[in-house]
Structure 1
């Protein structure tokens, strides 16, 4: 993902009147289900060491008072394919990262590379579940100065913005899809569509608009 691609997507504004049909489309109607991927990641043999608990996360992160704090996870498809999904807690801004393999070294390398595309003011922490793909989280923190916090075991709602976003993403990537066929350009396009969707929780502004305001305030 290039700098040009990211910053072009930040300044896209939703146009026209907000229709009732669109508002209804934004709401998820299906109950959230725990994925097989989540179960596999949280069994006794899959726990990772050297984690910083979410209980140690600053209160300013919890109440979304300041920007730059993200939630992340792997969205898994067929044929051992996956993409990293990242959601900024205050603005609900979404970024998607293609991940060729879910072994920890590959995931951490991809997240480190991606983290360099944002200013430090906009990427201060990352909250993840206890999947083994984040076993190298200390290396990520050393390389980026971004602290990683881990949810309690089997508590996916502790990164609720990310869970909700993953539910929305299934509209674009049907379950059972081989996610490896999507280029980074395609992932960027899907993220842009989500970021242009007005959100009730944002007063019907879009994540892109809120994120642009954040950039302006930190510039």
Structure 2
């Protein structure tokens, strides 16, 4: 089989070079199946590797060349069988003769009665290179309890936010420090982390395995050119001027109930629209009229939506009711409403996919909105959206 070495006991082990090639291809955005083909693995073997490591690339650093590769071990086996001495093999490889000598000495088979075998030597080297070192959360119970509590609290902090918060809450305790990447790995790579597997549901994605990025496709335009996002004032792009909003819907099961999300681009402040009985244009219009006009006029400059049918037919009436100009994203371009897409992901921690949103009450939405608006944001200098909006309103009143 391509890409494996056969050990003395058990199943063949995949070469570390092949695994590294698979992760490199996967990290470039290729699907697991295509990345497996690039590395010379079967789809089954690739799937097993992904599950074993929780979708996290286990080898962050490229090989430094210090250790012998499988190709070098095969050359050692060939030249040794041809009668070459240690010094000659070292000269041909460009390695110190003592390196070759140690390699041959540690891989003696049947007390020297059987020749050096590259596959057995590689299998042994890979097993010895494994690091069963305990992760920080596995040995620091206080830190693990803090991280677990922050992941499941009302504000549903992300690993990056938790990592940034630790020096604030524990300024004099250096043991209470951890990187966000370590938190992710402690959740995804079970058996080595110190966090419960079910905490994966507290992450904004809710996934138990990391997924590579996917490319979006294209579809035909649905709105006139003059209403596209390219016509939106430039002041909305750099977030320097408040009052520019992004909006969208999240749909429940069986598809009747929905929640509307309105996010102010500068402060990231969230307003949630209650749509338990449907999301037609009239229902969305009524919900917007109930919420957005409660803000001062200077905070109602524009609203950017996707090309959903619920907004395409009512955009003129929304503009009249709120005073905000309505613009639409390009087809199949959710990144043009990146703030709103991020907010929808956060909101799904309160209302997971597949949930019947007809049962959601106004009180439920108020609770979720308070959690989102009280959530620390790196982009706001670790302030909350509520604090940022309050500061904007104070500046406008001055």
Bin for the TM-score computed over the shorter chain: 0.7 to 0.9
Shift of 1:53: 1.0
Shift of 1:141: 0.7
Quickly say closer, same or farther: Cα 1:170–1:33, change in 2 above 3 A. Answer: farther
Secondary structure class of the residue paired with 1:116: helix
CA distance in 1, matches of 2:389, 2:228: 27
Q: Secondary structure at the match of 1:101?
A: coil
Picking from 184, 187, 194, the partner of 2:362 is 184
Question: 8 Å contact 1:69–1:124 — kept in the other structure?
Answer: yes
Determine which structure has the larger strand proportion and give its number.
Answer: 1
> Which residue among 222, 228, 246 is the counterpart of 1:47?
222
- When residues 78 and 90 of structure 1 are mapped into structure 2, their CA distance, relative to the original with a 3 A threshold, is same
1:146 equivalent to 2:293? Answer no
1:18 maps onto 2:165 in alignment: yes
Deviations along 1:58-112, whole A, 9 cap, x unmatched?
1110110111111000011112211101111001111111113111111112112
Is residue 2:392 matched to residue 1:218?
Answer: no
Corresponding residue for residue 245 of structure 2:
70
Q: Pick one of 199, 205, 213 that aligns with 2:383.
A: 205
CA deviations 1:154-199 (Å, max 9, x no partner) are 0010000000110111111111001121111220110111111111
Question: Given the alignment of the two structures, is residue 116 of structure 1 paired with residue 298 of structure 2, yes or no?
Answer: no
Quote the residue 1:3 is aligned against. none
Paired residues of 1:48 and 1:132 also in contact (CA < 8 A): no
1:170 pairs with 2:348? yes
Structure 2: runs of 5 or more not aligned:
1-163, 168-176, 184-201
1-structure distance, mates of 2:360, 2:178: 26
CA contact (8 A) 2:259 2:274 kept: yes
Q: TM-score, normalised by structure 2?
A: 0.45
Is structure 2 residue 303 aligned with structure 1 residue 126? yes
Alignment pair present for 1:137 and 2:315: yes
Q: Which runs of 5+ in 1 are unaligned?
A: 1-16
SS of corresponding position for 1:66: coil
Which has the larger displacement, 137-146 or 21-30?
A: 21-30
Tell me the CA shift for residue 113 of structure 1.
2.1
Contact 2:271 2:291 in 1 (8 A): no
User: Secondary structure at the residue paired with 2:227?
Assistant: coil
Measure the CA separation in 2 of the matches of 1:137 and 1:204: 35
Structure showing greater radius of gyration is 2
- Counterpart mapping for 1:101-112 below 5 A: 101-112=278-289
The question of 1:90 aligning with 2:266 is answered yes
**Structure 2 equivalent of residue 8 of structure 1:** none
Pair 1:73–1:121, CA change in 2 (3 A): same
C-alpha separation in 1, matches of 2:365 and 2:213: 23
Cα contact 1:51–1:150 (8 A) shared by 2: no
C-alpha deviation, 1:19, in angstroms: 2.8
Which structure's residues are more often helix, by fraction? 2
- Per the alignment, do residues 175 and 193 of structure 1 end up closer, same or farther by CA in structure 2, a change over 3 Å counting? same
Distance 2:393 2:351 in 1: 29
* Structure 1 residue matching 2:279: 3-state secondary structure: coil
Quote the offset at 1:152 in angstroms: 0.4
Indicate if the aligned counterparts of 1:97 and 1:114 stay in contact, CA closer than 8 A.
yes
Q: Return closer, same or farther for 1:84/1:149 CA change in 2, 3 Å cut-off.
A: same
